[in-house]
């Protein structure tokens, strides 16, 4: 209770996050209040358990993979900065962001970054390749016990066959981009944030 | 030396006589202006005047706040208070859209892009979900001049701050002592009154007296919270031999409902102050209290409720089937227990006005006493109560479906969001079963059987 001042966001921090993520001032303060309400330990960071406490996320077949995307390798806490950086991938691409020259570093919500986020869901060991084994594991998460090993195996084989162009029996990020070439990722991986 | 001591003594005595006199006047005033009207259920119009002034003040404050914000930046108050706009398509529809770009292959149907659907759903639930936000106080669109709002409202203007200051003085120095006195009188009256009535033989006058004592005490307590309650559709009021079910926001719900008639309570015997009140109440009229151990025995609970309902002379039972307090923006899953008894169900919707005070009891954050103190230092308590027409279980319906139907009716009437989620999620983790359902639904899409068409 007494440390109310320290739980508020400083104006400089908001400015920095604004620059980094493109969220508006009011979006940042409101997402901050969401962040603090999820933070049951009240220590300014979220743990995996904090995320799992959201029932709708807990029943999501890929929930654990999505949660994992918030945590840098080997860490089990994420602060507000990191939280916002991950969420920024899902900001819609605005018209004035489309024609920006490539000299400026690519925004977090670009098509490539959105695709990279999806790619990493499958890439369990973060080696920038989706192996047959990794694909099988993620498929198992999605379907549960409802499909036999045999059937799932053939689905994985077929998927890799279709995507793999260099014959290494795995899917690289470039091959992944190719497969999702016609998918409207810009829209399908964007969330309509209000004001 | 001596004389100054005795002088002090005289002063002290003066002080005490004055204090006694002040206390006496205070009590007489309370009795004349509040207790007696409360006993007989009429009003002197004091609280109505207070409410009018309050509403005017809050309107004025809102106007001022908006003016300042409009100057700072073009922030228009959105109609909803949400953070995002959700995509509401079903899994089938969304996945089909994702797969449209790809020629449909023979046999099984999986594409790498399927994860996009789950990802967006997952991220949406991280930003805003239906459940966890129901267990924290509702966020207001505009500041209501109380300190405790989730949004960080800052310095606005001298005028507003001044009014806020006067408000603090009013609430803490005048209203709070008055309300605490009233609550104490109300509760002790309840214990004394019901115990006294309990001594009478079982004549019909006993029931009448018991009801009178109950209602009177609740009326005093309601005044202790400055409650303004509007009852709608009184013709549907719960009748004897039925079960009244209502949405649950806080223990105050009971005071609100009992202001308009008596109910038999169901619940566990508590310790401490609650226990004393419960034991006194059961002496004058038959409430259904259970010991902690008995509560576990579902058959015993159902049997005792059935016996109560079948006795047509007994008061209707009041049950909150959500089993937990929700922040009054939604209705969560109704536990099926009270719908298995097979009696008439009288649904009641209760909606508080969040602008004058937050009625939600966040039991994991505040104890009962500190919650009551917060209520007593709020502006007031304004709420609407709607009596809905009686409902019966239909033949083809089981208890779970019936519970759902009643819940929807309450949600619709009270303007609340109708949720399927279990209020127990406040403390417990979600069951794996729900995840398995999602996986099953997705599997059927991958395998491409027709079973997916009728999963809703």
The pLDDT tens digits for B184-221 are 888 888 888 888 888 888 778 888 888 888 888 888 88
Domain chopping of chain B, boundaries? 158-427
pLDDT averaged over every residue in chain B: 83
Give the pTM: 0.82
The per-residue pLDDT for B148 is 57
The per-residue pLDDT for A4 is 36
Cβ under 8 Å to B: A residues 109-138: 117-118, 121-122, 138
The pLDDT tens digits for A26-65 are 899 889 989 988 998 888 999 999 999 999 999 999 999 9
Percent of chain B with pLDDT over 90: 24
Is the Cβ pair B85, A154 closer than 8 Å? Answer: no
The per-residue pLDDT for A86 is 95
The per-residue pLDDT for B456 is 38
The pLDDT tens digits for B212-271 are 888 888 888 888 888 889 999 999 999 988 999 999 999 899 989 998 888 998 887 777
At B453, is the pLDDT very low, low, confident or very high (cuts 50, 70, 90)? very low
Number of inter-chain CB pairs under 8 A, A vs B: 171
The pLDDT tens digits for B386-435 are 999 999 999 899 999 999 999 999 999 999 999 999 988 888 888 889 99
Domain A11-89 matches domain A107-189 at the CATH topology level? yes
CB B257 within 8 A of CB B279: no
At B155, is the pLDDT very low, low, confident or very high (cuts 50, 70, 90)? low
ipTM topping 0.90? yes
Average pLDDT over residues B353-368: 85
Q: Report the CATH number of the A11-89 domain.
A: 1.10.238.10
At B108, is the pLDDT very low, low, confident or very high (cuts 50, 70, 90)? low
The per-residue pLDDT for B104 is 54
Q: B110 to chain A: which residues are within 8 Å by CB?
A: 139, 155, 159
Architecture of domain A107-189: Orthogonal Bundle (1.10)
Domain chopping of chain A, boundaries? 11-89, 107-189
Q: B80 to chain A: which residues are within 8 Å by CB?
A: 194
């Amino acid at each position: 209770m007494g440390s109310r001042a320290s739980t508020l966001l400083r104006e400089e921090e908001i400015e920095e996050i604004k620059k980094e993520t493109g969220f508006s001032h009011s979006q940042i303060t409101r997402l901050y209040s969401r962040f603090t309400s999820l933070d049951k330990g009240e220590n300014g960071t979220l743990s995996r358990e904090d995320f799992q406490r959201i029932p709708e996320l807990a029943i999501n077949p890929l929930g654990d993979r999505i949660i994992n995307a918030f945590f840098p390798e080997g860490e089990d806490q994420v602060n507000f900065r990191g939280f916002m950086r991950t969420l920024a991938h899902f900001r819609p691409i605005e018209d004035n962001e489309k024609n920006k020259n490539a000299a400026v570093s690519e925004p977090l919500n670009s098509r490539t970054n959105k695709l990279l986020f999806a790619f990493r869901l499958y890439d369990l060991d973060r080696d920038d390749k989706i192996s047959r084994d990794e694909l099988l594991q993620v498929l198992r998460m999605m379907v549960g016990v409802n499909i036999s090993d045999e059937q799932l195996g053939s689905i994985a084989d077929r998927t890799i066959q279709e995507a793999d162009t260099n014959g290494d029996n795995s899917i690289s990020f470039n091959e992944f981009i190719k497969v999702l070439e016609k998918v409207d990722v810009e829209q399908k991986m964007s969330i309509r944030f209000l004001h | 030396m001596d004389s100054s001591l005795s002088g002090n003594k005289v002063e002290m005595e003066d002080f005490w006589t004055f204090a006694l006199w002040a206390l006496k006047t205070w009590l007489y005033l309370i009795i004349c202006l509040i207790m007696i009207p409360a006993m007989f259920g009429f009003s002197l119009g004091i609280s109505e005047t207070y409410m009018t002034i309050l509403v005017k003040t809050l309107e004025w404050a809102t106007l001022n706040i908006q003016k300042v914000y409009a100057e700072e930046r073009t922030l228009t108050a959105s109609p909803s208070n949400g953070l995002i706009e959700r995509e509401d398509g079903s899994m089938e529809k969304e996945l089909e859209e994702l797969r449209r770009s790809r020629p449909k292959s023979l046999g099984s149907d999986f594409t790498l892009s399927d994860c996009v659907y789950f990802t967006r759903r997952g991220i949406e639930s991280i930003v805003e979900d239906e459940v966890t936000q129901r267990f924290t106080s509702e966020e207001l669109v505009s500041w209501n001049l109380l300190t405790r709002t989730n949004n960080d409202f800052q310095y606005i203007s001298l005028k507003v701050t001044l009014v806020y200051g006067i408000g603090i003085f009013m609430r803490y120095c005048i209203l709070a002592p008055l309300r605490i006195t009233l609550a104490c009188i109300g509760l002790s009256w309840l214990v004394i009154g019901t115990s006294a009535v309990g001594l009478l033989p079982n004549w019909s006058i006993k029931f009448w007296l018991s009801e009178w004592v109950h209602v009177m005490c609740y009326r005093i307590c309601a005044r202790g919270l400055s409650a303004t309650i509007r009852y709608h559709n009184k013709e549907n009021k719960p009748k004897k031999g039925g079960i009244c079910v209502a949405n649950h926001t806080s223990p105050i719900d009971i005071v609100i409902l009992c202001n308009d008639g008596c109910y038999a309570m169901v619940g566990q015997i508590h310790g401490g102050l609650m226990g004393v009140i419960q034991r006194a109440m059961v002496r004058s009229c038959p409430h259904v209290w259970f010991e902690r151990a008995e509560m576990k025995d579902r058959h015993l609970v159902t049997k005792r409720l059935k016996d109560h309902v079948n006795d047509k002379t007994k008061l209707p039972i009041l049950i909150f089937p959500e089993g937990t307090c929700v922040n009054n923006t939604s209705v969560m899953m109704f536990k099926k227990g009270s719908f298995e008894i097979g009696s008439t169900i009288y649904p009641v919707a209760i909606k508080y006005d969040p602008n004058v005070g937050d009625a939600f009891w966040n039991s994991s954050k505040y104890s009962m006493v500190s919650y009551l103190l917060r209520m007593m230092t709020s502006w007031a308590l304004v709420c609407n109560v709607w009596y809905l027409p009686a409902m019966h279980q239909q033949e083809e319906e089981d208890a779970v479906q019936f519970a759902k139907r009643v819940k929807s009716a309450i949600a619709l009437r009270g303007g609340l969001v109708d949720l399927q989620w279990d209020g127990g999620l406040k403390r417990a983790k979600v069951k794996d079963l729900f995840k398995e359902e999602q996986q099953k639904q997705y599997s059927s899409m991958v395998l491409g059987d027709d079973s997916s068409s009728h999963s809703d």
